[in-house]
A = this chain, B = another copy of it.
Amino acid sequence: MRKQSGISRRFLLSTLATLLALTGLFPQLSARAQGTDPLPSWNDSKPKRAIIEFVTRVTREGGPEYVKPAERIATFDNDGTLWCEKPVPVQGAFALDRIKALTSQHPEWKETEPFKAVLEGNPEALLAFGEKGIFEILAATHSGMTTDEFAKIAADWFATARHPRFDRPYTELAYQPMLELLAYLRANGFKTFIVSGGGVEFMRVVTDKVYGIPPEQVVGSSGVTKFQMGSDGKPVLVKEPKIEFVDDGPGKPEGINRFIGLRPIFAFGNSDGDWQMLQWTAAGSGARFMGLVHHTDDEREYAYTRQRFNTLDKALGEANANGWAVVDMKRDWAQIFPRAGQGAGGRALQ
């Protein structure tokens, strides 16, 4: 066949796309043809097609896989799934900054581990203290104040802290493709939840602004709070240095059961800490969508898979074996973070 001109070839491809779209088999082409692509930051590769195809199936009234809106529950891990978690998770950066800020009130920290390691900027030494060290850092920075006081401390930190590499507020380092996905799901009658190992009170300070997810749709780890009467006769909730619930690994389906009480039909994670949530989602009846974000792009973000903490290993194996969606960040995302002025996402996108 003779080579045709660029214009008529493009015309043929466009016609073909329109015809395919009209069959309803490729709704993403339909959306694009109409100029209403709901996921413009996603490349036109497998995960995007799988997402749109799934949403189309479960929202088609009268269709065999229709799911009524009340049961369209979508759960998302936060760190590394909705926003950047490197070089340290956002809440870790907050805790380390707080240790530095509080040192003047705790001169003894200069000689006491694990605080000494933090103040000397020695993350390797800090990690050597393991879970116990992390708990001490969290207790020192996340307890001993009321819930209202903590929310203000966290909000003040978010207003000024900047990511060391990207030099932007952490609230601008949500993934643009995931912001579009959240908005797309909500536009299709889904209720979107965060189910994260992060602290629930820390996340809630920004989740509405960043993701359009209100406080009551955030499930996370928590410390014990204690109700008591304040000196002004008004009650307060005081944050205690006691872990109440760890919303990670098997804790995620447990947290989903306790907080949401419905099994998700759509779930996204990025590490083995999300494995059980994805298994729990997969085990329900009817149509299901399980997805993983695989960090493969060290130019635009970071590249990591198997690692010391929060590794992606077993969940990736099951994803590959069972056909769960695996987002290869480098291949599948046309854009990683919102552009300046594009807005942090949530509210703006709704």
Whether A214 pairs with B70 at a CB distance below 8 angstroms is: yes
- Residues in B with CB closer than 8 Å to A201 are 257, 261
Task: Convert A247-263 into 0s and 1s, putting 1 for each residue whose CB lies closer than 8 angstroms to a CB of B.
Answer: 00011011001111110
> Is A227 among interface residues, defined by CB-CB distance under 8 A?
yes
CB pair A261–B215 under 8 Å, yes or no, is yes
Alpha-carbon separation in the docked complex, A218 to B261 (Å): 8
Q: How many monomers of this protein are in the complex?
A: 2
The range of chain A's interface size is 35 or more
Establish whether residues B227 and A253, one from each chain, have CB atoms under 8 Å apart when the complex forms.
Answer: yes
A50 adjacent to chain B (CB < 8 Å):
no
- Chain B residue with the shortest CB-CB distance to A284: B234
Q: A235 touching B279 by the CB < 8 A rule?
A: yes
- Is A113 close to B, CB under 8 A? no
Q: Which residues of B contact A280 (CB under 8 A)?
A: 227, 235, 237
Whether B261 and A200, one on each chain, are in contact in the complex, defined by CB atoms closer than 8 angstroms, is yes
Convert A14-36 into 0s and 1s, putting 1 for each residue whose CB lies closer than 8 angstroms to a CB of B: 00000000000000000000000
A91 interface residue per 8 A CB criterion:
no
Contact pattern, A 164-205, Cβ under 8 Å of B = 1, otherwise 0: 000000000000000000000000000101000000110010
Q: Which of A204, A226, A237 has the most chain B CB within a 10 Å cutoff?
A: A237
Contact, CB under 8 Å: B258 / A225: yes
Chain B residue numbers with a CB within 8 Å of A215 are 260-262
Interface string of A221-252 (1 = CB under 8 A from B): 01001110000001101000000100000110
User: Which single residue of chain B is at the shortest CB-CB distance from A224?
Assistant: B254
25 interchain pairs, CB-CB under 8 A:
A70-B208, A73-B216, A191-B216, A200-B258, A200-B261, A215-B261, A215-B262, A216-B216, A216-B262, A222-B258, A225-B254, A225-B257, A225-B258, A226-B250, A227-B253, A227-B254, A227-B276, A227-B280, A234-B283, A235-B276, A235-B279, A235-B280, A237-B257, A244-B258, A259-B259
A305 part of interface (Cβ distance < 8 Å): no
- Which residues in B have their C-beta under 8 angstroms from that of A218? 261
Bound-state CA distance A222–B217 (Å) is: 19
Contacts A191-B216, A227-B276; A237 near B260 (Cβ below 8 A): no
